[in-house]
Every structure is written in structure tokens, then in C-alpha cells.
Amino acid sequence: MENKPDEKYIRHLEEFVTENRKQIFKQVLDKRTNYFTVVLEDLYQMHNVSAVVRSCDVFGFQDLHIIQKKYDPKLSHSIAKGAEKWLDIYRYKDTLDTIKQLKSKAYRIVATTPHTNDVLLEDFDISQPAAFFFGVEKDGLSEMVMQHADVFLKIPMYGFTESLNISVAAALIMNHVSSQLRKSDLPWQLKEEEKIYIYQKWLEKSIKSIESIKKKYFEKD
């Protein structure tokens, strides 16, 4: 988290949001996780990035990491359906730096790609936090990711087609591991301080006149 939540400020913001909205936020936060996270490496197609953003929200993944070495992907609001508002999206310029940061937070690096030592999705071990890396369909993940990967994950396919669109693959994996996680006794939910901080950000994003409200509030203090 970038900053600690401000309880007094949150109480003030709640005055501008309906009870129903506040309850929805809290219900969604109870189902959010950063036990697993998603990393997109150099995706350039707007619709794929936007679809992954939407899937992260749908399956309760709070964090999304985007590596932008060659491309600066924009989001399509019509595809993401505004889901980007509710996620914490981190952008990087360097793959190795991304890997190091995620490993420092105890994430396993999972390369989603066909490989001689593949683990099938149905056999994936959810007992440790993991960061799922996805690359462009044509070129796949970079050699840097392949060298530092702890796991090579494969989605079983039974037809003539040998690959899936990146956004479809990401959705399938997120759906499976999210479902398995919620059936487990693992500590997958966000910490309370994380929930409060995200709740504060969501309140801010829900108020149209937030800038003037913030100005008046902090000038008063």
C-alpha cells in the first residue's frame, strides 16, 4: 500500500455515498485477494489488456501488473466496463525488476506457456502465493521470464488449436485458481488495513465532486 488509511477522512467521505454503495464495497472487499496476482508482459492489443482487467475484477484479483517495454497499452472502457477503477494497477518498464519485486513479496513466478516441464492447470499447487505471467500470443513470454520462472503452467487443450487468446487463457486460469483458493483454508483474503485503504480509494472514486471535497477537508485540518 502507498499510504495508510485515514479513518476520520473515510467517515467524512461516507457522508457522500449511499448505504447500499458502502455495503457493496465491503462485500466485494471481503472477496478480494492479492494472494494471487496477474502480470501482463508487453501486450499491445487494447482489447486483450482491457479484457484481462475485467476478468481480474470478476474473479476478485485486486492487483494487476503491466510491463511496458515496447508498448504502452491503453484500456478500452467499453471492454473493461470501468473495472480499472476498482483494481490496483502497477506499471513497469523492466521485466527483471518486476520479477524481483514480486519475489521479494514471496510470490512464485508462474509462466503460462507450453513447456517440457509443464504443470497442468488442474494440478497447480495453490499452497503458495503466485504471480501468473502472460505474454503476447504470437511471441509468448520473454526469455527473462522463462529463466526466472518457478512454475510453467499449461492449460490442457484437446483440439487442433495449440494456443488460446491471452485474455481467454487468463480468464480460465483466474477462474480455476480463484475457485480452488476460496474452497481452501489458506489465508487468501486481504488484510484489514489493506481493505480499509482500498475502501477509502473506492469512496473517492465514487464521488463526482471529490476534488473540491478533498480540498475543503484538508484545508480545514
Position 72 scores a pLDDT of: 55
> Is pLDDT larger for residue 43 or for residue 116?
43
Indicate whether 220 pLDDT > 80.
no
| Residue 184 confidence (pLDDT) | 97
Residue 1 has pLDDT above 60, yes or no: no
Least confident of 73-87, 153-167, 175-189: 73-87
Question: What fold does the segment set 36-177 form as a domain?
Answer: Alpha/beta knot (3.40.1280)
pLDDT at 119 (0 to 100)? 94
Q: Where in the chain is the domain with CATH 3.40.1280.10?
A: 36-177
Question: How far is it, in rounded angstroms, from Cα 151 to Cα 49?
Answer: 23
State the Cα–Cα distance between residues 58 and 71, nearest whole angstrom. 25
Least confident of 16-30, 38-52, 95-109: 38-52
Can you read off the three cell numbers belonging to residue 51? 479484457
